[in-house]
Structure 1
Amino acid sequence: MRYWLMKSEPDDCSIDDLAAMPGQTVAWYGVRNYQARNFMRDQMQPGDLAFFYHSSCAEPGIAGIVEVSRRAYPDTTQFDPASRFYDPKSSPDDPRWLNVEVRFVRKVRLVALSELRQHEALANMRVLQKASRLSITPVDPAEWRYIHEHLIDAR
């Protein structure tokens, strides 16, 4: 099993939105970065767990836990000219962009980015690195355990 951090803008899809969706699943659509796409395509598997991270908001941070519930498949938004994620260079015969589906596991208290930065054990976490803009990043198993033991489940 692998661990991930997946960023979502809460105005688009928050952890509460996901919890209220039918089946509590959502396609992780709109990823337009090749490295993040490759993580989904090459490494993410059903059963992998991820931190659901609220980004581009007043207080960014970990808001919940999700599980990858479906392997990568073509993101349909790339084919829709009305979508802000439309890619005219992509086609159904040769899609550029993929998404996985994730399933709600649980909401957690918001573990703010500023709080994550206070823990030396998390210093190498990708989300804490300068200019880290990827919407999907791997999380080291030791970082995953630390966050659970010291920040999520400790309270």
Structure 2
Amino acid sequence: MADLEQVGGACVAWDAEAAEAFSSRHLAPSDDPTMPDDFYARGVASGELLLIRWQLGDGSTLAHTALRRETTDGKSEMVIVGAASARPELPAMETILPLLEDFARAWKCCSIRWHTERNGLVKKGQAAGYRVSELVMRKVLDG
């Protein structure tokens, strides 16, 4: 069993491992017709997105998160733009959320937000103290 007490995160450049992690977890921008295929890669390269690779104590990857900070009226919010677990048999979200909260505090953010269409992530978020704050509706139009 992996040692989840030794999880650490590091900011990394976009690479083949990140591209595979995001595409294989149904987070590829091509799943959303409003996003270009290279959305995450360009965002990380431009500095708009911060990519964190979360690793276990043995050096293997647990997950990746793509983050950005939004500031309005002097208050910042960390946005989890995308996340992908490399080890679906492990509780990546429950392990990483407290670490992301620490990171958000260090980044001087007063809140964290993410969008999801997965009911399981909503339930895990609620169990960790998050609440549903909006529902986003989208319809893809022909042509």
Would you say same fold, with TM above 0.5?
Answer: no
TM-score, normalised relative to structure 1? 0.25
> Which structure is richer in relative contact order (CA contacts within 8 A, separation 6 or more)?
1
